[in-house]
Amino acid sequence: MIPFDEAKKRVDELRKEIDYHAHRYYVMDDPEISDSEYDRLMDELTELEERYPELKTPDSPTVRVGLKPIDSFKEVIHEHRLFSLDNTYSEAEVLQFDKRVRESLGIERVQYMCELKIDGLSISLKYQDGLLVRGATRGNGFVGEDVTENIKAIKSIPLRLRKSLSIELRGEVYLPKDVFNDLNRARIEDGLQPFANPRNAAAGTLRQLDPREVSGRRLSAFFYQIVEPERFRLEKQSQQLELLKTIGMKIEPNFKTVDGTEGVIEFWKTWSGLKSTLNYAVDGVVVKVDDLHYQEELGYTTKAPRWAIAFKFPAEQATTRLISLNLSVGRLGTITPVAELEPVQLAGTTVRRASMHNFDFVRERDIRILDTVVVEKAGEIIPQIVKSIPDKRSGVEKPIEPPSECPICKGPVGKEREEDVALKCLNPSCPAKVGRRIQFFCSREAMDIEGLGEKLVERIVESGLVKSPSDLYKLTKEDLLALGERIGEKMADNLIKAINKSTNNPLFKVITGLGIPGVGSKLAKDLANSFGSLRALMSASEKDLKAVSGIGDQLASEIRKHLSAQSVREEIEELMRFVNTQDESRDGPKPLKGMKFVVTGTLPSYSRKEIQERIVELGGEVMSSVSKNTDYVLVGDNPGSKAEKARSLGTQIIDEKEFEEMVGS
C-alpha cells in the first residue's frame, strides 16, 4: 500500500495533470492525450482518493463523477441583476443605437466589441478564492435557481480557476449541434418528445435533478462578462475576455473590436453567412461599447444596458404548404409523421419534407393536410414544422388522424408506456422495424458492413432470410445469388467478405450495433471500456451501469430493461457466436502511438468522426489545429487553410491511401 505522503504528492500531480488535459480538451478543443490515457489518470486518482478519503477536496476532478441527485432547486437572489438585451433585426436601428451612444457620451466615434450571441441559457457563477461555490440560472434577472451540482457536471467549466480569485462571472450554457441532433434522434426512437431547438435542450438539461444525466448530455458553456470588472483594473470589454481566458474559462473565439458601425455591420454580414459552419447555435451579434468607463457612464434602462444591443440574424424559417403525409417506422417501431411540402428555400437548401415528430405534436398544433405551415431548421437536423397558419385556410384542409394500424405490417399500434408521446408498432416481427434495425447494425457508426445499404437490406428482410442481426452471419453466397436482380457472383463474394470482416470489429462497434436505447458510439466505447466484455455488460446491474460516466438513474434503468428482455438476450447470445465479444483495444496494435494528426477536407472512405475514431483506436491523437507539435496532416478534398499552414510549417501532409499504408490496412 502506498504511504500517505507519497499518495498526497501523487494526488496533487494527478489533479494538475487532469485539469490541464481537461482544459485542452473541453475548452481549447486541442487534446494532447487520448481518451483512454485520460481515463487511466482519472482511475488512478479515484483509487487513491478512495484509499485516502481525507485527500478528496471540493475541486477534485473526481467530484464530477460522484455527483448525487437532488430533490429540488433552491432559489438564488442575484446580488447583481442579470439584465436582458435590447434587440433588433434592423441595420437602421443599429445606426440609431450608435447615434444615441455618441450623443450621450459627447464623442464622434465609438469602438465596439462584436461577439456572437450564443443561443443558450444564461448563467451566473461565483468563485471564492478560485473555487467554484455557486452556479445559478438567470431566472427573471433578480431571482434564479441554484444549479451548482449540474454546473459541476459541465466539463468545460473549471471547478477551480487558474488564479485564486473571488469573482462572479456571466456566461451562456449551450448544447453543441451534433449532440442536439444525436439526442433528438434518440428521443424520437425512444418515443419521447424531441426538443424544439438546442436552446430548449440546454435549458431542459440544466434543470435535470440528476447531475449524472447532465454529464451524459455533454453541455458546454462560453463566458463573456466579469461582474465588477473595475476590481481587476480592467478598462475594455476585450480585456474582460482576455482575463476570462487566462483564468481557464471558455470564451467564444470569433469576437472582434471594430471602429464604428461600418465594422459592426460588416461583422454581422460575415457571420450571418458563416453561422451554419459552427457547432453551436448563434442567433445574432452582441454589439457592446468596448470602453468599460463609457459603459458605466451610459448605465441601464429598467431592463437593459444602454451600452449594448443584440443585432439578430434573420430567423431560419419559411412558409409553405403541406401537400400530403407519409408515415415512417423506425428500428424501435416509432411511427413518425413526415410532411411532404411544396418545395421552399430555407437556409440555403430546398426543403421538400419536414418532421412532425409525433401525433400529439400534430394535435396540439392543429396541423392539417393542405395547411399553410411555418418550417424551420433547428441545429442541422431535418427541417421541422413549427405551426400552421389557420387564417390562411380555405375549407379544403383535412385533419390528420393517428393510424389505427402499422402502415407497413398492418400490426397493432400503441404507446409502450403511459408517459410516451410516440405511437409505436407493437409487432416485434414488423419488416420495417427489422429492416431499420439491420440497417443500423450495418451502418458505419455500428458494424460498418460495406455494401449492405438500405435497399439491399429491405430485399434480404422481405425474402425472410434475415430477421435479426445474427442472421446476417448465417447468409451464404447462394442465399444472396438467389435474390436475383443485380446481385452477381462478384457482388455476393464482396458482401460475404464484408460480413466476415465485421466479426473482428472492436467491442464498442458491436455494442453500438445492438441499438440499445440512449447508447450511441461514444457511450458504447465507455461501456466497452468499463465492462470489458459483452457477457459482463449483459450481467451489469443498474448500480454497475450508473458507475459509468454519463449514465444516470433513468438511462441505467432503460439500458437494464432493454438488456433484460428475453428476445434481446436470445439475440445477443446468438450474435456472440459470430462477433468479437471482448474489449481488446487496450492490448491491440498501436501503429500510430505518440503521433499527432490533424484532419482536413473530405475523405473518400471515412466521415470526420470515423477517421478520428480510427486514429485514436490505433494509438494516435487528433488535434483541432496545425501547430509545430503536429506530426501529420491528413487531407481530403477541399482541405482549406490547415493544409496551407502545414506546408508553411513543413509538417508532413498525407492522403487517405498513405494513411492506410501507415496502419497496414
Residues carrying an active site annotation = 117
Contact 393, 371 (CB under 8 A): yes
The per-residue DSSP string of 224-274 comes to EEESSGGGGT--BHHHHHHHHHHTT----TT-EEEEHHHHHHHHHHHHHHH
- With a CB cutoff of 8 Å and minimum separation 6, the contacts of 76 are 134, 136, 139, 143, 144, 145, 146
Cell 434481446 found at: 568
- Determine the Cα–Cα distance for residues 331 and 285; give it in Å rounded to an integer: 41
- Determine the Cα–Cα distance for residues 239 and 293; give it in Å rounded to an integer: 13
**What cell does 200 get?**
430548449
- With a CB cutoff of 8 Å and minimum separation 6, the contacts of 578 are 470, 473, 503
- Determine the Cα–Cα distance for residues 283 and 267; give it in Å rounded to an integer: 14
- In DSSP terms, 633 is beta-bridged to 598, 653
- Determine the Cα–Cα distance for residues 535 and 538; give it in Å rounded to an integer: 5
Strands (E), 364-505: 368-369, 372-376, 384-388, 398-399, 413-414, 424-425
Compute CA distances 575 → 438, 479, 513, 653, whole Å.
13, 19, 11, 41
- Determine the Cα–Cα distance for residues 325 and 353; give it in Å rounded to an integer: 9
- DSSP-based three-state secondary structure for 93: helix
Contact 65, 549 (CB under 8 A): yes
* DSSP annotation of 400: P
A 10 A CB-CB count for 106 gives 7
